[in-house]
Structure 1
Amino acid sequence: MFQRFALAFSFSLLASTALAADGPLQIFVSKADQTLTVYDGDTVVATTKVSTGKPGHTTPSGIFSILEKRKYHESNLYSNAPMPFMQRLTWSGIALHEGKIPNYPASHGCVRLPNGFAKTLFQMTERGAHVIITDDPVVPRQVTHANLFTPRLPIDDGGLLSDVELRPGRVEAALKPVEVAMNAVPPRSGAEAKLTIEEPPPLRILITRRTQRDVATDVQRLLNKVGFDAGVPDGLLGTRTIAAVRAFKEKHAVEKDGEILSKPFLAALYTEAGEDHPPMGQLMIRQKFQPLFSATVDIKEPEKALGTHFLEATDVDRFKRKAEWRGVTLDDHLAAATQKRLGISTPADDRDVFTAEAALSRIVIPDDVRARIETMLSEGSSITIQDTGLGPETGDGTDFITVTRSKPRV
């Protein structure tokens, strides 16, 4: 995913003296310390002072990736201000770029880099490189858990893993789902047979809670299945769908309450349709900034927040079925109204309790979905786990962008 080479640094603001990247790099920006740190696995390979957004133009915190790179760029928002060695993080105007570093937040929201270092970082990265922005500094660590994906060989006949329903990402509802063809395993002709596989581009995996529209889409599908005409499953509660819901409730004596899609109604509908229960989670996949497919997953103890976590696969060995995962847990304070909307009664405000491992233990991924992902897993693939679904920054030509919210300081 990233260019691998060695460079000598001579900048006074750079802590390390040389870079030799063996795997995907991770870039971390701390707004509290006004620093940027580049990691190769557990090793710090570069660090520098930066200048983030000043009051009124605060740089957003969260999980980003480099969407676009330009050696020279002029701001579309601020009087064509020069932005050399620009690396875009959002289409709304946040980027890494060369600029003045006055040792305090001074930008209009971008992350300014020192002269020289901006060029060096530009040469180190490729589109898709992850950039994590936080208030206080965070350090990636190795994460081990049975629920993490491990690479596996493609299926023997080279066919498609087509038993999982494909769905477009929610923001790109007009796009058609995309099937992914895997390379075929050559016939086994003895111990000397060799297998050559072209590694696919890294996956971007988001695991989050289902939205009301996801639930409504399933309701429409199930109502049609059991003989109530709810129209095309589009997740919109129009008059046709509402009429079908009311007809189902009347026929099956579902108690009436203020909610159209009430819990008693959902339980009765899933039972009637022969399905277990409404799934709580959604797993979505993108590759090269385009949606691949989406599948439902379950979340144990849904009344508890999952928290916000980012993990990236390194040292992926498909033949040994091994991958190392490194990640961080981010502060992400959910407003009371958001918690109520999501049905969360226990927020993930204690990072010592709501760890990445704790979140992974509560996520139930169907075996067929896991198999499909693991045949496509490659170095640099990432997983974002969070509670709030797709945000407004995730759209056409982006990875999954998660903007986090800091807990108000007392």
Structure 2
Amino acid sequence: MFQRFALAISLSLLSSTALAADGPLQIYISKAEQTLTVYDGDEVVATTKVSTGKPGHTTPSGIFSILEKRKYHESNLYSNAPMPFMQRLTWSGIALHEGKLPGYPASHGCVRLPNGFAKTLFSMTKRGAHVIITDDPVAPTPITHANLFTPRLPVDDGGLLSDVELRPARVEAGLAPVEVAMNAVPPRSGAETKVTIAEPPPLRILITRRTQRDVVSDVQRLLGTLGFDAGISDGLLGSRTIAAIKAFKEKNGIEKDAQILSETFLGALYAQAGEDHPPTGQLMIRQKFAPLFSAPVDIREPEKALGTHFIEATAVDRYKRKAEWRGVTLDDHLPASTQKRLGIVTPADDKSIFSAEAALSRIDIPDEVRARIETMLSEGSSITISDTGIGPETGDGTDFITVTRAKPRG
């Protein structure tokens, strides 16, 4: 009876705290401790016991967000099993939902929540809220770094943003126009007039290493500026693009190489196109579960792993040009084959050295790209830094989903 009474008090406190929440909620789940903790900034809003996936159906660890919410849902994988107050994390079948808690991992991969708690949590969250799943428990802490984004007004000091060349992606047609704010200085007066700004939806930012498709897309663009017909900049190494690369090599006396995208070729191509060097990183933006744009960045010391980090803006004041950031560093042990493919010599196994701040210090973001992002920054915008880029769970109707790997036993 005492346990039921304590649970009732817990849920009552949870509900009242949710109404007073000031910022975006974050949900942290520890598989080792079988617990779930809800944070509003640094404040713990609620905690509960959970039941995650049993052996053979392990709940994946990583960075997720709530993609879909249904008060009543039936599993299409396991005999229409009921999943009340379902909050979907992946389209492959991982979700939070009400279920039995035997005191140990017992689900088929989902995270089961206690009766009552599942309903209350469902009422607190919104689509897009982040869910971080780890083995050992972690908690968000304040992060300050010069490389973190600072919100700004779309018109700053009377100037307009330059038309930086960014790679467009499929933009969601339903995105409403964003009202902008500007500072107008009336004649004969130093008074400043502010127009109310409508905050855009939160950004999802992923900073990672470049893939071959990113490199090929740049090669096609640069070859086109130099008069070679490489086709559209789609990142696909087709016959038309290969022919253009061979033509460039022949014209510039570059000897045949086993690699079509050799370092010698890339260096010569970027130099002729007036760009310093091939970038080593890529920054990608999503908004409202749809790709928005991407742009190249540089990762210094690319032979060292970046590690996996999640950082979220929990307070944004555009007029004061201030933002508060909180985040965590996650365990993510890359297989030797993955490290070799990515050119990583030093893995990020020591979180005290390979921290989020250390990763941010190695990333160079062009000023034009930074300006574009900072005019769109809003509360709840997040940054994921990862060596492995877009995983298979990221797709249509998702944020960036990063699945991490546990350290091999033994």
Q: TM-score, normalised by structure 2?
A: 0.92
**Contact 1:314–1:323 (Cα < 8 Å) also in 2:** yes
- Structure 2 CA distance for partners of 1:167 and 1:38, relative to 1, 3 Å: same
| Contact 1:60–1:109 (CA under 8 A) maintained in structure 2 | yes
Query: Counterparts of 1:242-391 in structure 2 under 5 Å?
Result: 242-391=242-391
Percent identity among equivalent residues?
79
2:150 maps to 1:150: yes
Q: Deviations over 1:144-171 (max 9, x none)?
A: 00000111112169998461234344xx
Cα deviation, residue 221, structure 1: 1.6
Q: Deviations over 1:114-148 (max 9, x none)?
A: 00100110011010100000011111110000000
Contact 1:158 / 1:184 at 8 angstroms: preserved in 2?
Answer: no
Provide the rounded CA distance (Å) in 2 between the counterparts of 1:177 and 1:192: 34
TM-score, normalising length: structure 1: 0.92
SS in 2 for 1:293: strand
- Compute the RMSD of aligned alpha carbons: 2.4
Which residue matches 1:164? 164
| Structure 2 residue 7 is the aligned partner of structure 1 residue 11 | yes
For 1:223, what is the secondary structure of its paired residue?
A: helix
Q: Which runs of 5+ in 2 are unaligned?
A: none
Q: Separation in 2 of the partners of 1:232 and 1:41? A: 44
Secondary structure at 1:84 match in 2: coil
What code does the residue aligned with 1:185 have? M
Which residue is 1:238 aligned to?
A: 238
Cα distance between partner residues in 2 of 1:218 and 1:176: 26
AA matched with 1:155: V
Give, in whole Å, the separation in 1 of the partners of 2:390 and 2:174.
17
Alpha carbons 2:311, 2:327 under 8 Å: kept: yes
Which shifted more, 10-19 or 84-93? 10-19
User: How far apart, in 2, do the equivalents of 1:13 and 1:395 lie?
Assistant: 40
- Quote how far apart the aligned CAs of 1:107 are: 0.3
Amino acid at match of 1:131: V
The 2-side partners of 1:208 and 1:192 are apart by 41
Q: Is the 8 A contact 2:73 2:84 kept in 1?
A: yes
Which amino acid in the other structure matches residue 191 of structure 1?
A: A
1:105 lines up with 2:100 in the alignment: no
**Deviation string, structure 1 residues 339-393 (Cα, Å, up to 9, x no partner):** 1211111111111110000000011111111111111111111001111111111
Matches of 1:285 and 1:354 in 2, distance apart?
A: 24
1:4 is aligned to none
Map of 1:49-88 to 2, 5 A cutoff?
49-88=49-88
The answer for the alignment partner of 2:185 in structure 1 is 188
Which residues of 2 match residues 176-215 of structure 1 at below 5 A?
Answer: 181-185=178-182, 187-189=184-186, 190-191=190-191, 193-215=193-215
Equivalenced residues, count: 399
Q: Take 1:81 and 1:245, find their aligned partners in 2: how far apart are those partners?
A: 55
**Per the alignment, in what secondary structure is the counterpart of residue 390 of structure 1?**
coil
Assess if the C-alpha contact under 8 Å between 1:15 and 1:48 holds in 2: no
Q: Which amino acid aligns with 2:55?
A: P
Q: Which moved more, 1:221-230 or 1:370-379?
A: 221-230
Contact 1:13 1:49 in 2 (8 A): no
1:52-88: CA deviation from partner (whole Å, max 9, x where unpaired): 0011111011000001101100001111000000000
CA contact (8 A) 1:178 1:291 kept: no
Structure 2 Cα separation of the partners of residues 259 and 352 of structure 1 = 38
- Contact 2:63 2:402 (8 Å CA) reproduced: yes
Separation of aligned partners in 2, 1:128 and 1:335: 30
* 1:33-64 deviation line (CA, Å, top 9, x unaligned): 11001111112111110000011111011000
Q: CA deviation at 1:292?
A: 1.5
Partner Cα distance (1:45, 1:51) in 2: 20
1:3 is aligned to: none
Specify every segment of 5 or more residues in structure 1 that has no aligned partner in the other structure, as ranges: 1-8
